[in-house]
Amino acid sequence: MAKSYVIRTYGCQMNEHDSERISGLLEADGMTRVDDEADADVVVLNTCCIRENADNKLYGALGNLKALKDQNSDLQIAVAGCLAQKDRELITERAGHVDVVFGTHNVDRALELLDHAAEHGPIVEILEATAREDAERFPSALPTRREVDHASWVTIQLGCDNTCAFCIVPSVRGPEVSRPFGDLVSEVETLAADGVSEITLLGQNVNSYGRDLALARRSDAAPDDGHWCGERWLDDRRARPLFADLIRAAGAVDGIHRVRFTSPHPKDMRTDVFEAMAETPQACEHLHFPLQSGSDAILAAMHRGYTGERYLEKLEEARTTIPGLSVTTDIIVGFPGETDEDFERTLEVAAAAEFDSAFTFIFSPRPGTEAAEMQDSFVDHAVAVERYERLRVVIERSGRAANQRRIGVIEEVTVEGPSKKDPSVLTGRTRRNTLVHFASPTPLRPGTYATVEVVEASMNHLLGELVEVTHAARHRTRIPVVAG
Ligand code: SF4
């Protein structure tokens, strides 16, 4: 009988993409996706370890699965992702009913490990980034089950070389390694041929993409240097990031209508990236630009490598170079040692930045990070909550104003499907990454492009009136294949 599986994904886009890969592997082996763990033969929990309650979420879910496993001893439970990479054998020690634990550097081994566990019992396989050839670590060759047919993530680099004091990513995802330029362009071509019209270039620090490749290739000319670093680099062969070149190359692929990316780091942001965004018609006018704090003292303690003033200068340059740019950000309040003056500075910079929206967090210490050791200067939680509320007011004010300014504008949207709140209308996404709800006299498939006139604006979305359909969706409708 064809087996069935459930995959639960916690955390960031990198994990979502890894889950698409794991699903692709299981489905290539004939398994079918089900929604309920009670109907599954295999359950995969793809974990995150960024937030404090990440552990609670995992062990809570494993607790619920224990009851199912007691009823069905053939049920296989696998734990993957960053918390698996960090906690390793601790997971099977705390939850003996787990069959497989694998990390962030061996996603491609998911199926083999499940087969191994079915025959030989539970297995924990955690590899270090350096333990494998880079190409092996890039699961790009793996089958993928995309969550959205018309849009796809493209992982451009793994790991991160930065040392932000609050962040666990470098220790669970390893050092920064960029994928060869040519591999990325051919992956985008393959996706476009498969009907994908929107891609998101994905990495922990995308704007340093290719620095390692150019550094390794700058001296001796090798025939495939163009494959590794892109044709544009051959002219100057400097040891520079290649991200601007990649935006241009991805946008030039036939069939690609929109190019997005996440996440850049302000300290590495260069003018050539803004120019590439402005000069590449497919590059969307949205920049997610994590500020984290406005205080220079806190930014230094976080090892972010820029000041509040420098951040605003970069933002000014981006907005001058890319007309109509939408800017979102991440901000942490209550970082250890944050004084009232520090926080006032964060409010000042956030107000001056006029963000379209922001992910705001109260600092939570993650075991294994430098900041987790700063207990002596932890900020009182009540104070942090009060600061969080004051920041939310500043962010909502600029977000509402930004959406108000879109009233009367004709926006190009990608149809994403029926509105979750009101299925009688459609939801679309603008190039500035804002949701628009609008009515359509005829059904429109996800992935269809249309123009909509904005008639109303609220904090998180816009309301619009359909003007015209501009591009039909190109992807084939996925007909679930029932294996066996
Ligand atoms: S840039 Fe900083 S916050 Fe982002 S993944 Fe790297 S270490 Fe973490």
Asked whether residue 365 carries a pLDDT value surpassing 50, the answer given is: yes
Tokens of 273: 């990236």
pLDDT tens-place string over residues 402-459: 999 999 999 999 999 999 999 999 999 999 999 999 999 999 999 999 999 999 999 9
- Residue 314 and residue 53: Cα distance in Å, rounded? 34
Tokens of 51: 């937030």
pLDDT tens-place string over residues 16-38: 999 999 999 999 999 999 999 99
The finding on whether 207 has its CB within 6 A of some atom of ligand 1 is no
Q: Average pLDDT in the 50-64 region? A: 82
Other beta carbons within 10 angstroms of residue 385's beta carbon come to 13
Q: Which of 34, 48, 46, 38 is nearest to 6 (CA)?
A: 34
Q: Can you give the pLDDT at residue 481?
A: 42
pLDDT tens-place string over residues 90-110: 999 999 999 999 998 899 999
Tokens of 183: 């591999």
N residues, the chain: 484
State how far Cα 350 lies from the chain centre: 23
Mutate which of 104, 155, 265 for ligand 1 pocket (most atoms within 8 A of beta carbon): 265
Question: Which numbered atom of ligand 1 lies nearest the CA of 170?
Answer: 7
* Pairing mode, strands 4-9 and 42-47: parallel
Mutate which of 49, 158, 167, 263 for ligand 1 pocket (most atoms within 8 A of beta carbon): 167
Other beta carbons within 10 angstroms of residue 478's beta carbon come to 10
Q: Which of 245, 199, 251 is nearest to 17 (CA)?
A: 199
Q: What letters, b where the CB count within 10 A reaches 16 and e where it falls short, cover 292-318?
A: bbbbbebbebbebebbbeebbebbeeb
- Residue 157 and residue 234: Cα distance in Å, rounded? 21
pLDDT tens-place string over residues 109-157: 999 999 999 999 999 999 887 666 655 656 556 778 888 899 999 999 9
pLDDT tens-place string over residues 371-392: 999 999 999 999 999 999 999 9
- Residue 207 and residue 471: Cα distance in Å, rounded? 30
Give CA angle at 267 (261, 269), nearest 5°.
45
- 146-281 and 410-471 have identical folds: no
Q: E strands of 156-311, at which residues? A: 157-158, 177-178, 198-202, 258-262, 286-288
Q: Can you give the pLDDT at residue 128?
A: 82
The finding on whether 265 has its CB within 6 A of some atom of ligand 1 is yes
Mutate which of 104, 160, 361 for ligand 1 pocket (most atoms within 8 A of beta carbon): 160
Cα 293 to middle of ligand 1, angstroms:
14
pLDDT tens-place string over residues 222-242: 889 999 999 999 988 999 999
Question: Which numbered atom of ligand 1 lies nearest the CA of 265?
Answer: 1
| Nearest alpha carbon, ligand 1 atom 4 | 204
* Pairing mode, strands 410-418 and 449-457: antiparallel
230 Cβ neighbours under 8 A, 6+ residues apart: 181, 182, 185, 210, 242, 245, 246, 249
For residue 276, what are the CA distances in angstroms to 192, 207, 211, 283, 323? 21, 12, 17, 8, 13
Contact between 281 and 251 (Cβ < 8 Å): yes
The finding on whether 162 has its CB within 6 A of some atom of ligand 1 is yes
Q: Can you give the pLDDT at residue 55?
A: 83
- Residue 475 and residue 339: Cα distance in Å, rounded? 52
| Nearest alpha carbon, ligand 1 atom 1 | 162
Map tokens 């018309």 to a residue: 150
Asked whether residue 250 carries a pLDDT value surpassing 50, the answer given is: yes
Other beta carbons within 10 angstroms of residue 212's beta carbon come to 19
The finding on whether 12 has its CB within 6 A of some atom of ligand 1 is no
Edge-to-edge strands of the sheet including 286-288?
Answer: 286-288, 326-333, 357-362
The finding on whether 15 has its CB within 6 A of some atom of ligand 1 is no
Q: Can you give the pLDDT at residue 304?
A: 98
Q: Which of 200, 182, 221, 168 is nearest to 20 (CA)?
A: 200
Handedness of CA 48, 54, 57, 60 (dihedral sign): positive
**Domain 4-128 in CATH 3.40.50.12160:** yes
The finding on whether 167 has its CB within 6 A of some atom of ligand 1 is yes
Residue 61, amino acid: A
Other beta carbons within 10 angstroms of residue 61's beta carbon come to 18
Asked whether residue 272 carries a pLDDT value surpassing 90, the answer given is: yes
Cα 202 to middle of ligand 1, angstroms:
13
Q: Can you give the pLDDT at residue 131?
A: 66
The finding on whether 170 has its CB within 6 A of some atom of ligand 1 is yes
The structural domains of the chain, with segments of one domain joined by +, span 4-128, 146-281, 285-405, 410-471
Q: Can you give the pLDDT at residue 235?
A: 87
Contact between 176 and 190 (Cβ < 8 Å): no
Cα 437 to middle of ligand 1, angstroms:
34
Q: Can you give the pLDDT at residue 134?
A: 56
- Residue 26 and residue 3: Cα distance in Å, rounded? 9
Cα 303 to middle of ligand 1, angstroms:
10
Cα 465 to middle of ligand 1, angstroms:
40
239 SS3 class: coil
Q: Can you give the pLDDT at residue 135?
A: 56
* Pairing mode, strands 286-288 and 198-202: unpaired
Mutate which of 166, 172, 202, 205 for ligand 1 pocket (most atoms within 8 A of beta carbon): 205
Cα 233 to middle of ligand 1, angstroms:
27
Cα 289 to middle of ligand 1, angstroms:
12
Cα 313 to middle of ligand 1, angstroms:
21
Mutate which of 162, 168, 265 for ligand 1 pocket (most atoms within 8 A of beta carbon): 162
**Domain 146-281 in CATH 3.10.100.10:** no
Q: Can you give the pLDDT at residue 410?
A: 98
Give the pLDDT band of residue 483 (cuts 50, 70, 90). Answer: very low
More confident residue, 484 or 377: 377
* Mean confidence (pLDDT) of the chain: 93
Cα 361 to middle of ligand 1, angstroms:
15
Domain formed by 410-471, architecture: Beta Barrel (2.40)
**285-405: CATH number:** 3.30.750.200
Cα 160 to middle of ligand 1, angstroms:
6
The finding on whether 164 has its CB within 6 A of some atom of ligand 1 is yes
Asked whether residue 52 carries a pLDDT value surpassing 60, the answer given is: no
pLDDT tens-place string over residues 288-342: 999 999 999 999 999 999 999 999 999 999 999 999 999 999 999 999 999 999 9
The finding on whether 157 has its CB within 6 A of some atom of ligand 1 is no
* Pairing mode, strands 357-362 and 326-333: parallel
The finding on whether 288 has its CB within 6 A of some atom of ligand 1 is no
Hey, what's the torsion of the CAs at 45, 46, 50, 53, to 10 degrees? Answer: -10
Asked whether residue 479 carries a pLDDT value surpassing 70, the answer given is: no
Kindly write down the DSSP assignment for every residue of 336-365, as one continuous string: TT--HHHHHHHHHHHHHHT-SEEEEEE---
Give the pLDDT band of residue 178 (cuts 50, 70, 90). Answer: very high
Phi-psi label, residue 11: left if phi above 0, alpha if psi -120 to 50, beta otherwise: left
